[in-house]
Structure 1
Amino acid sequence: SFLLAAASTRLAFAAKQHNYFRIIADSLWIKISGNGQALDACKGESRAAQMSATDRCKAFEHAARQEAALQAVQDGTDASDAGYIERFVRVATLQERHRAAQTLAGAAAPAPLPPPPPPPPTSERPFYEARAEAAYAKRPPTRGEEPLVDVRGESYRRVLRDCPILARSQAQALARAAARGMVGAFRNNGSTTLGCAAPEALQGRLDDESIATIRRCVVELRRLAAESAGVDERRLALSGAFLARLQPPGASSRRRALESKPRCYWNVHVDEYNVETYEHTTLLYLSDHGSDFTGGRFVFYDGDGVDRYLEPSAGTVICFRGDATNLHAVEKVSSGCRFALTALFHATSDPGPLFEAGGGGGDPYASWDALLRSAAETSLMAQDQRRRDLLDDASSTPVAARLATDLRGDWCDARVAYDGEVVSATGPAPDAVLVDLVAAALRTDDDGGAFDVFGEESSDDGAPPRLLTYAAAGGAHGPSGTLSWRRARYTLSDGGEEVASCECEVTFTRDGAQKRLVFGGDITVVVDELAATASNSGTGHALWPGAVALTLFVVGRETLTRARVVELGCGACALPGRAAAALGGRVTLTDGAPALLPVLRKLDGVEVCLYNFAGGGTFDGLDASAEPSEPPAPADLVLGAEIAYRAADAEALAACIPLRLAPGGTAVLCSDEKRAPLKLCGELLRKRGFVVEDSVLALTVTPDVDAAATHRVRVVRARWGSSSSGVGAS
């Protein structure tokens, strides 16, 4: 007969000083047969696999470090830059983790690398904007070139070679910091950028001193732009700012680049044609032409047929009007790295704060998905549609999956070798999580692919078993996938005033994670987050910030004794509804997914109803084998957290609430502030005669380790226009 034995392997990674990614799966399970001798033999094989995995990971990290030292020189720093090398190896390790976890989770073998991107246009002066191309075509035949000189007037140009913003050594130091910060950023045909409009978003990529330097430089660049243009500095708003590194195209074409539609950074353009608000352009150069790079001159293509050029040097500043008079381009870099800080401005009567708020607060190197998300946020231009798609919080698809057809997935040539012999190596201990994943993969190979980490049979429908899926998700299906803490305090605040708070303790299990939330007094709710599997994205199985925020809002501001409560789209966790039951409410939990019914029916003190509000308020037959339920009776309080993702959801929700809400009742809905459909739902309810309060609150997570993080959440509270029932503000 088969026996189930717990293997000693645990997935754990704890950073000593940095808040690096930590995953802990409660235990791995293996199938064995026979007697105690067989068990001992299996343990011996497990230890052997672990030792082999350690040696293979050591060999991988050694190879990655060697490659990092070579790449550091190409990327604008040097082979002794420990910060660059550590980040390079970290990114390579995260990708190897991602590959191993995908294999264990039953994913297909990685597809071969896509072919190299098509070569750039053969023209030395490519165009991407029709008006710029037309302006260049009107020029007379080229009459030669001259060094750039200042031009006064509305279409001004100004070069400051002895600018006091940054000394040459300071500029070069910022360039080296940028090279470290660009590790794990997206490249495009030799161009890499880090957006600086919200400098705090670069935390984790740049040190605090570099971020402060960028802020100071942008402030000074605005002053110089205003002085050059003859306008009031206080009237200039920041249109965009970024650090840019330009290299020979294809210098690292095998690595870390969104190259499916490569663009040439040496295209001829007009700034205002590219982005209307790029009225005034300033550049602070951070490297020297001739010594740090060759090629890469800045050239104006003027209407008199003369090309006027500038050979950049560290500390030099150029300012110019972004209009059609200043048609320009950067020549292709022939060798080395060209660094610059660009800041663009526009005139406005109400400029507001110079820098955007938000961003930062997380470790961009916490997981593979966190890295890709950080790369999208910091290294894709604001007007790039790919950036908006990758940062779409309404999508439950992992960022890595969204990039599957667009990302060349070979950050580093170094690989963990799963075949052949590996010589035992000395050196520091390799990444613990990667070792465990590789050891599991090695055991899987030894068992002909039938190794079942959780000791569960494959499903009848042929779907692969859940193999390390919670660890493999790495944040793919909810906020807990990348938790680096075990205990934290959630606090909901409204305008700086605390609404309510709770303590949360996390225990990782073999199926996912269990969270124990204590709201004070006798109110304790324990929820189980389930791993994403081949048959579900995990979206309804995770505890999202909006659900925690809604629960705290209910605890702090609603009176529920004997009130009838319905939670719409409760998911597997159902935290708001279960907390309402603990507060004395008579609660019905509803969800449109039949697969959740067995989970929800195990909960005490609540009723369960299969109900899909998005189907117009009636059960729409999601699964013909599931037993239909009668719609829930009208309630005094209707709750919904993170259930409106599209405009159609908002319309369905606005149609559903009047049906499910008793006269005098109240509906309270909550979601991430960036999800516009909830705001639309509030407007639709207002048109239906509801009194609607729409507010944005702050949910702060303060862990026992690492820094606090804040989520902005929207709360829509809608009540009938007539007299209220027993539910109301306390």
Structure 2
Amino acid sequence: MAAGPDRGGRRHSSAKKSRGQQEPRWGWLKAAFLLSAAAIGGLLSWSYLGTEDGVTEVLARHSENLQDKFIEIPCSEDYDGHKRFEGCTPRKCGRGVTDAIITREEAERIRRIAERGLSLGGSDGGASILDLHSGALSLGKHFVNLYRYFGDKIQDIFTEEDFALYRDVRRRVQQRIAQAFGIHSASMYLTKPTFFSRINNTEAKTTHDEYWHPHVDKVTYGSFDYTSLLYLSDYAEDFGGGQFVFMDASSNKTIEPRIGRVSFFTSGSENLHRVEKVHWGTRYAITISFTCNPDHGIGDPVLP
């Protein structure tokens, strides 16, 4: 969605600034959308081909209201190549789904934050990103820093209450992950990328729009130890397709998004996954990622 007329002058004047400002050096953005090309290689190709036509099991249906569902699975060796942090680095691995920590009303409020922020820009293709931490915002075929690009206009888009809710939701997700894996919440650190995504069925214009490739978060980002997603729209009501798929050797395991639903999992190749292409409508979610390494931690976003 394009910005409104009242922002046009600022956008055009800003566009005259250096190309470096229009294309900030967020290394994670390139990694986030080139997931299968280099990070995964032949192993993922084999796993994808081996399961695409196999049995599919639905772990969480949109119609269900799940208090807590957790499945423990063996850990991969991905964590062995990284520094271990006792009391945090996964020794128990798995995946969970819950509808019990974020209310529908809170999720709707969070989605409105995403909608307002993404109304300032958006990708020319089907996948748009808004990162309140770094300021990264999809704009056409590039990314800009919305805090620098729109300046004081940001005060008209977001409020302190928006950011307070965002922080509170993040803390609750973090506490639930810690509880499920038997670790201390204080030993986990928010890490990048943590971002809103908006996906529709617009044809991909760049590799940044190719969100559907199978990937492993720990392989792609390195810092990730625990990954979570908060869904902000309803499968089969707000959009079609767009299911989250764990790709196991024996079968695919799918999660149907439901507004306020949180899915979480250890970030190694024990949880190879992908998102199906969205066929119609718009799918909103937040990826919230955690690391055990304080050197890779980031702070909560603060309204400028």
Q: CA deviation at 1:262?
A: 4.0
What aligned pairs does 1:646-661 form with structure 2 within 5 A after superposition?
A: none
What aligned pairs does 1:696-707 form with structure 2 within 5 A after superposition?
A: none
Corresponding position of 1:242: 195
The correspondence for 1:228, drawn from 177, 180, 200, is: 180
Higher relative contact order structure (alpha carbons within 8 Å, sequence separation ≥ 6): 2
Q: 2:167 aligned with 1:215, yes or no?
A: yes
Contact 1:288 1:313 in 2 (8 A): yes
Q: CA deviation at 1:360?
A: 5.2
Change (3 A) 1:150 1:194: same
Change (3 A) 1:337 1:321: same
The correspondence for 1:297, drawn from 224, 232, 243, is: 243
TM superposition score normalised by structure 1: 0.30
Change (3 A) 1:242 1:352: closer
Residues in 2 aligned to 1:211 and 1:261: alpha-carbon distance in whole angstroms: 31
Q: CA deviation at 1:171?
A: 0.9
Corresponding position of 1:145: 56
The letter of the residue matching 2:185 is E
What aligned pairs does 1:390-539 form with structure 2 within 5 A after superposition?
A: none
Q: 2:125 aligned with 1:189, yes or no?
A: yes
Change (3 A) 1:98 1:285: closer
What aligned pairs does 1:570-589 form with structure 2 within 5 A after superposition?
A: none
Corresponding position of 2:112: 176
The correspondence for 1:268, drawn from 214, 218, 228, is: 214
The correspondence for 1:332, drawn from 254, 277, 291, is: 277
TM superposition score normalised by structure 2: 0.69
Q: CA deviation at 1:226?
A: 1.3
What aligned pairs does 1:99-178 form with structure 2 within 5 A after superposition?
A: 127-131=36-40, 133-138=42-47, 140=50, 142-148=53-59, 150-153=70-73, 154-161=92-99, 163-164=100-101, 166-178=102-114
Corresponding position of 2:234: 288
Residues in 1 aligned to 2:166 and 2:235: alpha-carbon distance in whole angstroms: 22
Contact 1:295 1:335 in 2 (8 A): yes
Change (3 A) 1:223 1:189: same
Contact 1:294 1:335 in 2 (8 A): yes
Corresponding position of 1:206: 158
Q: CA deviation at 1:155?
A: 2.3
Residues in 2 aligned to 1:297 and 1:277: alpha-carbon distance in whole angstroms: 25
Name the larger-Rg structure: 1
Contact 1:174 1:210 in 2 (8 A): yes
Q: How many residues are treated as equivalent by the alignment?
A: 239
The correspondence for 2:6, drawn from 66, 82, 90, is: 90
Residues in 1 aligned to 2:231 and 2:95: alpha-carbon distance in whole angstroms: 16
Q: CA deviation at 1:274?
A: 1.0
Residues in 1 aligned to 2:112 and 2:249: alpha-carbon distance in whole angstroms: 38
The letter of the residue matching 1:90 is D
The letter of the residue matching 1:176 is R
Q: CA deviation at 1:132?
A: 5.2
Residues in 2 aligned to 1:263 and 1:287: alpha-carbon distance in whole angstroms: 19
The letter of the residue matching 1:278 is F
Q: Secondary structure at the match of 1:156?
A: strand
The letter of the residue matching 1:355 is G
Residues in 2 aligned to 1:184 and 1:191: alpha-carbon distance in whole angstroms: 15
Change (3 A) 1:198 1:135: closer
The correspondence for 2:299, drawn from 348, 352, 355, is: 355
Contact 1:132 1:269 in 2 (8 A): no
Q: CA deviation at 1:247?
A: 1.3
Corresponding position of 2:77: none
Contact 2:47 2:247 in 1 (8 A): no
The letter of the residue matching 2:57 is E
The letter of the residue matching 1:338 is R
Q: CA deviation at 1:333?
A: 1.0
Q: CA deviation at 1:176?
A: 2.3
Change (3 A) 1:211 1:266: same
Post-superposition Cα deviations, 1:330-369, rounded to whole Å, max 9, x if no partner, equal 1111111111121111113x57986157x753xxxxxxxx
Q: CA deviation at 1:209?
A: 1.7
Q: CA deviation at 1:91?
A: 3.1
Q: 2:297 aligned with 1:345, yes or no?
A: no
Instruction: Give the RMSD, CA atoms, in angstroms.
Output: 3.0
Corresponding position of 1:727: none
Residues in 2 aligned to 1:347 and 1:98: alpha-carbon distance in whole angstroms: 38
The letter of the residue matching 1:284 is L
Q: Secondary structure at the match of 2:245?
A: strand
Residues in 2 aligned to 1:151 and 1:145: alpha-carbon distance in whole angstroms: 16
Q: CA deviation at 1:130?
A: 4.5
Q: CA deviation at 1:186?
A: 4.5
Segments of structure 2 that go 5 or more residues without pairing to the other structure are 17-34, 60-68, 74-91, 136-145, 148-153
Residues in 1 aligned to 2:7 and 2:241: alpha-carbon distance in whole angstroms: 30
Post-superposition Cα deviations, 1:41-100, rounded to whole Å, max 9, x if no partner, equal xxxxxxxxxxxxxxxxxxxxxxxxxxxxxx59xxxxxxxxxxxxxx5222334446679x
Post-superposition Cα deviations, 1:488-508, rounded to whole Å, max 9, x if no partner, equal xxxxxxxxxxxxxxxxxxxxx
Post-superposition Cα deviations, 1:430-470, rounded to whole Å, max 9, x if no partner, equal xxxxxxxxxxxxxxxxxxxxxxxxxxxxxxxxxxxxxxxxx
